[in-house]
Amino acid sequence: MKMNWAKEAWSKLTNNNKNKNNILCRRFANGAFSDHQLTRDFLVKLWVADTKITNPKNQIRSRRFVRHHQGAADEAKRVLKQPPITQSALSNPKSLQEAKVAPLLARSNLLITRDIEWANLVFGFEQENRYAIVDVCYPQSPVGFIREQSSIIARQLLRTRRPFVAQITDAMGSELFTVRRPIWWITSSIYAEIDGKEIGVVHRRWHLWRRIYDLYLGNKQFAVVENPGFWNWTFTMKDINGEVLAQVDRDWRGFGFEILTDAGQYVIRFGSSDPSSKIGLASAIEDLEVSRPLTLAERAVAVALAISLDNDYFSRHGGWGLPFMAVGE
């Protein structure tokens, strides 16, 4: 009787072990786990991993993570897509330098907006200037960016007279050209460079209240700006015959923006755009009538002019003050 009981117990124990081995074999027979030693620590880690996978909170968190990164990827694709040009007449550049800047400058109107400098606003700490460039015909995403590079000490001591280099990039962050502004005391100058080669310069002429700039392409002057000063915020580029070539307008952004910040906004108008680009709200934009369209290299100099205007007249010199009070030096 005792022997029969012992045999039955041994038989049940053997069957249970076989079932467990079958389950383990089905779970670990494939892959790298087939030869793994099934220790107690290994089984504990496996149980913890299985718990994390089957936990509903982790599944929800994982789905949120996937949706977030998919949304970020879609947003990146949307931003990185360069809007089409709006002046097809400039789609065939004459040199490699012009071909490099064509995706940004072959446009009828460029809106340049300066970022708010919170450290300057709160603490009076001068920061590097940053700008976003938008084609007004395609305002959904920027077509380029401008970022200053300068010494932190020079920014605090010299303020608007500091030397700096600014990189102008397209929407993807690829550098197109740079502008270089040396230190100045009486009159300022700013140079436009493509691939390290100087292509043009903007020289400011001193006047008690008028704002006068001479624009050069190489050694040849192609335009002049003669602004009457005071509250006139329109800077028209004219040739030697007084014909209009382009225009830089400084927009009023509201009382709070103008009093408290340096976040200025400028529109560079190069002439008429293609009819195909005037869709939606862009159809209400009035084109500037020009005697001739500027070349792409001349437009790079015009962008340098807008940056120089922002630093010469529309940047506060520290503390509180109206930007239009700086009418002369």
User: Which parts of 81-141 fold into alpha helices (H)?
Assistant: 96-105, 118-123
The mean pLDDT of 105-120, rounded to a whole number, is 89
pLDDT number for residue 14: 54
What phi, psi does 116 have (nearest 5°)?
Answer: -75, 130
Higher pLDDT, 111 or 92: 111
- Beta bridge pairs of residue 147: 130, 167
Evaluate whether residue 320 is within a structural domain: no
Give the pLDDT confidence of 206-226 residue by residue, as tens digits.
999 999 999 999 999 999 999
Best-predicted range by mean pLDDT (33-37, 122-126, 137-141, 280-284): 137-141
Give the pLDDT confidence of 153-193 residue by residue, as tens digits.
999 999 899 999 999 999 999 999 999 999 999 999 999 99
CB atoms within 10 A of CB 186: 7
Residue with tokens 């606003």: 121
CATH number at residue 280: 3.20.90
Residue 230 to residue 243: CA distance in whole angstroms: 23
CB 83 within 8 A of CB 143: yes
pLDDT number for residue 229: 87
Evaluate whether residue 321 is within a structural domain: no
pLDDT number for residue 128: 92
Evaluate whether residue 58 is within a structural domain: no
Nearest one of 149, 145, 166, 152 to 120, comparing CA atoms: 152
Evaluate whether residue 13 is within a structural domain: no
Domain limits for position 263: 83-314
Evaluate whether residue 67 is within a structural domain: no
Residue with tokens 């300068």: 150
CB 290 within 8 A of CB 170: no
Domain count for the chain: 1
Residue 231 to residue 229: CA distance in whole angstroms: 6
Question: Residues of the chain with pLDDT > 70: what percent?
Answer: 69
Evaluate whether residue 76 is within a structural domain: no
Give the pLDDT confidence of 297-325 residue by residue, as tens digits.
999 999 999 999 999 998 865 444 444 33
pLDDT number for residue 157: 93
- Cα angle 313, 161, 318 (rounded to 5 degrees) comes to 65
Evaluate whether residue 47 is within a structural domain: no
Evaluate whether residue 24 is within a structural domain: no
Confidence of residue 70 (pLDDT cuts 50, 70, 90): low
Is residue 272 pLDDT above 60, yes or no?
A: yes
Residue 179 to residue 166: CA distance in whole angstroms: 5
- Cα angle 157, 188, 221 (rounded to 5 degrees) comes to 160
CB 165 within 8 A of CB 180: yes
CB 149 within 8 A of CB 169: no
Instruction: Classify residue 153 as exposed, middle or buried by CB count within 10 Å of its CB (0-12, 13-18, 19+).
Output: exposed
CB 166 within 8 A of CB 182: no
pLDDT number for residue 75: 46
CB 139 within 8 A of CB 120: no
Is residue 261 pLDDT above 50, yes or no?
A: yes
**Tokens of residue 10, six digits:** 């041994």
Q: Of 91-95, 101-105, 130-134, 156-160, which gets the smallest average pLDDT? A: 91-95
pLDDT number for residue 237: 98
